[in-house]
Structure 1
Amino acid sequence: LLIKHPARLLKAEQKYICVELSCIIKSTVTPDPRIEWKKIRDGETSYVFFDNKMQGDFVTRAEILSRTSLVIKNTTRMDTATYRCEVAAPADTKTIDEINIQLTVQVKPMTPRCTVPKAVPVGKRASLHCHENEGYPKSTYSWYRNSEPLSPDSRSNAKLHNSSYTLNPSTGTLVFHAVHKGDTGRYSCIATNDAGFAKCEEQEMEVYDLNIGGIIGGVLVVLAVLVLITLGICCAYRRGYFANSKESGESYKTPAKPDGVNYIRTDDEVTNDLHLTSLCLGEEGGGQRTTGFFRT
């Protein structure tokens, strides 16, 4: 028994295409050798074709061609794996033979998602992010300012000697450690892999100066207002505007009796006093003075 494959490595340049994995029997004396296909991915082995039937999700999108070759339709990046063709020929001297075929399904990157701060003060830190997760193999990232590429190291470009940034091509992160006015511009990012590339739209980042004088002036105004409020409260206390209610209420209390006891007057006593007062006033009008008390 002898089998072979024209190529042990296959690359599908894009997803959703048809791929043929060839397994050719060169010589055998067994009339009907047994054919099996297996998929090995992340250390796990599963059947693709077993007992003359397709297995798993390959039932609707794969078939056997020319008795031994495997055809996979609508490939996706999840089909990236090692495929093993095993042939068993009991009547041959060599009863079993196998070959491994590495299939890589390459997927072009999708448009990356880019985040760029709109405005950053001079001297502050600024982080720009670029990422997409559809491409296979994994994408790498490059940043552009005003359509000109930014090198991974700012020190390697004479035009960027005033910039201080770090660019990570693997994560797509661009970090300015301390921005300056020259970092103002339109920023865009490109995600690239073996299958192609994709670019996000340009976004403007403005670097502005901090108004130190205005900030100091604002702080001084606030302090002056607080001082005036404090002085006003102190003056109000000194002039008695904030006297407590207890002291205010005591000024309206009925004076105590000479013996130091406060008496509660009944309604009859109040009526008698009023009657007595009216009598006294009437006597004063007549020119006579009478001593004593009259009760009704």
Structure 2
Amino acid sequence: MAWLQGSFLCGALLGWVCLSAPGLAVEVKVPTEPLSVPVGKTAELTCSYSTSVGDNFALEWSFVQPGRPVSSSQPILYFTNGQLYPTGSKAERASLLQNPPTGGVATLKLTDVHPSDTGTYLCHVNNPPDFYTNGLGLINLTVLVPPNSPSCSQSGQTSVGASAALRCSSSEGAPRPVYNWIRLGSSPTPPPGSMVQDEVSGRLILTNLSLASSGTYRCVATNQMGSASCELTLSVTEPSKGRVAGAVIGVLLGVLFLSVAVFCLIRFQKDRRKKPKETYGGSDLREDATAPGISEQTSVRADSNNGLLERPPSASTVTTTKSKLPMLV
């Protein structure tokens, strides 16, 4: 009897828990590894879920461009109320592997993939009242594209002893291609130190050019989908005699101008040192100064006979005369 009562109590407790517990959690499973598909092929983005499918079950696939947040996703298709609604720019190429997707499989099939299809795809399952997870799975898709024919160009001087840069770039290619420069023909290869290339940027630096550096150079752009190339002919020339003569004349004129400037500066300094300084001390008397105590009227007298002016006694004479006068105490 006691055993029956215990069993009844356990069953009642389990029933109460089941009745009071909310709906089950929605669980969405997607591959953890990114998906890579060659351009023009069909991509299958696997998505599975587990939930108790009811009348409120809804499925949504959306797309996010690389580098943008999930909140800016663009819809691809909806499934709700038993109907499938493709939408957006991918609507004509998007479908579900199982339709209706009520058996736990919500795989998206995208045909004839384009380079613009590269990005993140969101598989979102919504099934009220199962709200205990976000019911969201993310898949990263990369559309593989071979590099197109790169563009080759050069910059810098192509004369002996100068430096030049060769550049190579492809506008298409996924993953991003690497670049390799090679020299064609049987001409001798320039010294290793004079060629430095960057496989990422596609730049080739040629330093200390010589006539042996002339020739045809090929740039090859490569990724896992294929390769493409372009060629460029480099012609190294010797500096012209007229250019060399002009450079020499320019140097000589510069030296001559500098020499004349230095000579004029030295001459100016010497002349400045030889020129006397017209300065007077406080105790010096000028030759034409008037002696103290003699008025201007008495210092100059007119000679009525010959019409000449009589020069007043000099400062030295006045000083001597004053020194002979007796001093009164």
Q: TM-score range by the shorter chain?
A: 0.5 to 0.7
1:8-157 correspondence runs (5 A): 8-12=33-37, 14-25=38-49, 27-31=50-54, 33-41=57-65, 42-43=68-69, 44-50=72-78, 52-66=84-98, 67=101, 68-92=106-130, 94=132, 96-116=134-154, 120-146=158-184
Q: CA deviation at 1:168?
A: 2.5
Matched to 2:29, the amino acid is: K
Tell me the residue number matched to 1:212: 241
Would the alpha carbon gap of residues 29 and 167 (structure 1) be closer, same or farther in structure 2, given more than 3 Å must change?
same
Would the alpha carbon gap of residues 170 and 6 (structure 1) be closer, same or farther in structure 2, given more than 3 Å must change?
closer
Runs of 4+ in 1 over 4 A off after TM superposition: 91-96
- Structure 1, unpaired ranges of 5+: 149-158, 221-296
User: Equivalent residue of 1:57, what SS?
Assistant: coil
Matched to 2:96, the amino acid is: I
**Normalising by the residue count of structure 1, what TM-score does the alignment of the two structures yield?**
0.60
Counterpart CA distance in 1 for 2:192 and 2:211 is 10
Would the alpha carbon gap of residues 162 and 89 (structure 1) be closer, same or farther in structure 2, given more than 3 Å must change?
closer
Q: CA deviation at 1:169?
A: 2.2
- Structure 2, unpaired ranges of 5+: 1-25, 250-329
Provide the identity percentage: 30
1:2 aligns with 2:27: yes
Deviation sequence 1:167-190 (CA, Å, 0-9, x none): 232221222233112312220001
Counterpart CA distance in 1 for 2:176 and 2:163 is 28
Counterpart CA distance in 2 for 1:23 and 1:88 is 14
Counterpart CA distance in 1 for 2:163 and 2:236 is 11
1:29–1:91 Cα contact (<8 Å) kept = no
Counterpart CA distance in 2 for 1:166 and 1:17 is 39
Deviation sequence 1:23-58 (CA, Å, 0-9, x none): 122x32223521011212222322122354222101
Would the alpha carbon gap of residues 100 and 110 (structure 1) be closer, same or farther in structure 2, given more than 3 Å must change?
same
Would the alpha carbon gap of residues 183 and 16 (structure 1) be closer, same or farther in structure 2, given more than 3 Å must change?
same
Q: CA deviation at 1:209?
A: 2.3
Q: CA deviation at 1:100?
A: 0.8
1:89–1:95 Cα contact (<8 Å) kept = no
Matched to 2:45, the amino acid is: L
Tell me the residue number matched to 1:167: 197
Instruction: State the superposition RMSD in angstroms.
Output: 3.1
Structure showing greater Rg: 2
Matched to 1:29, the amino acid is: S
Counterpart CA distance in 1 for 2:47 and 2:134 is 14
Counterpart CA distance in 1 for 2:128 and 2:242 is 93
Would the alpha carbon gap of residues 49 and 216 (structure 1) be closer, same or farther in structure 2, given more than 3 Å must change?
same
Deviation sequence 1:132-157 (CA, Å, 0-9, x none): 11112222211111279xxxxxxxxx
2:39–2:114 Cα contact (<8 Å) kept = yes
Relative to total residues, which structure has the larger strand share, 1 or 2? 1
Q: CA deviation at 1:92?
A: 4.2
User: Equivalent residue of 2:60, what SS?
Assistant: strand
2:31–2:139 Cα contact (<8 Å) kept = no
Counterpart CA distance in 2 for 1:190 and 1:31 is 57
Counterpart CA distance in 2 for 1:64 and 1:190 is 41
Matched to 1:131, the amino acid is: S
Tell me the residue number matched to 2:307: none
Would the alpha carbon gap of residues 95 and 185 (structure 1) be closer, same or farther in structure 2, given more than 3 Å must change?
closer
Tell me the residue number matched to 2:266: none
1:49–1:55 Cα contact (<8 Å) kept = yes
